[in-house]
Homo-oligomer: A and B are copies of this chain.
Amino acid sequence: MDLLKKRILEDGRAIGNNIIKVDEFLNHQVDPVLMNEIGKEFKKLFSDRDITKILTIEASGIAIGAFVALHFGVPLVFAKKAKSLNIDDDVYSTSVYSFTKRTDYDVKVSRKYLSAEDNILIVDDFLANGRAALGLVDIVSQAGASLEGIGIVIEKGFQEGGKLLRDKGFRVESLAVINHMGNGEIEFN
């Protein structure tokens, strides 16, 4: 997606050869016009699938997921990371290790919002080691729902997540794949 790649080059910041910060338009400040275009693009890429729900994980996935959901005309469900007194006990849950925060966290989705009748498109902002995506895949599996695909905004092609998910047979579509970072430079696939 050229519009996204252009924006990453303009406003993304490469730190070392591993961290890319896109707080300018995706992770802290959000450009709603770009999010809307991202929603359209995922609808185009997965237009052959009969999607009934979009699944993402809080917090950075929500803005993306909401626009993807709008273009598919289906609800978004966002998995919750922390135990909250306000979430139902009747949940699908799984544990995910965060390299960023260096700790495991629980991911939960109420059983009310995913069922065996659903055809799910998972979306997320980043794909690096694949831990968050695998957590969501596990939740889809617990629900007995059909996983139609995984839509990623920015894939770090030099980390193992993409290969891991594709080797398991999942259809992964990434709008921008970064193959190399270093000296503040970002190179796409």
CB proximity of A106 to chain B, nearest CB, Å: 14
Chain A's interface: helix, strand, loop or mixed, by majority?
mixed
Instruction: Given A62-B59, A66-B66, A67-B66, check contact A32 B86 (CB 8 Å).
Output: no
- The listed residue with most B CB atoms (<10 A of its CB), out of A27, A32, A69, A113, is A32
With a cutoff of 8 Å between Cβ atoms, the chain B residues found around residue A58 in the complex are 58-59, 62
Alpha-carbon gap, A123 to B104, bound state (A)? 31
With a cutoff of 8 Å between Cβ atoms, the chain B residues found around residue A19 in the complex are 86
With a cutoff of 8 Å between Cβ atoms, the chain B residues found around residue A101 in the complex are 84-85
Chain A: interface size category: 35 or more
CB proximity of A111 to chain B, nearest CB, Å: 11
Of the listed stretches A71-79, A139-147, A161-169, A176-184, name the one at the interface; the rest are far from the partner chain. Answer: A71-79
Is A40 an interface position by the 8 A CB rule? Answer: no
- The listed residue with most B CB atoms (<10 A of its CB), out of A25, A31, A70, A100, is A70
- Chain A residues within 8 Å of B, Cβ to Cβ: 19, 21, 23-25, 27-33, 35-36, 58-59, 62-63, 65-67, 69-70, 73, 75-78, 80, 84-88, 100-102, 109-110, 112-113
Instruction: List 23 A-B residue pairs with CB atoms under 8 Å apart, sorted by A's residue number.
Output: A19-B86, A23-B87, A23-B110, A25-B75, A28-B78, A28-B110, A28-B113, A29-B75, A29-B76, A29-B77, A30-B62, A30-B65, A30-B76, A30-B77, A30-B78, A31-B75, A35-B70, A59-B59, A62-B66, A63-B66, A84-B101, A85-B101, A85-B102
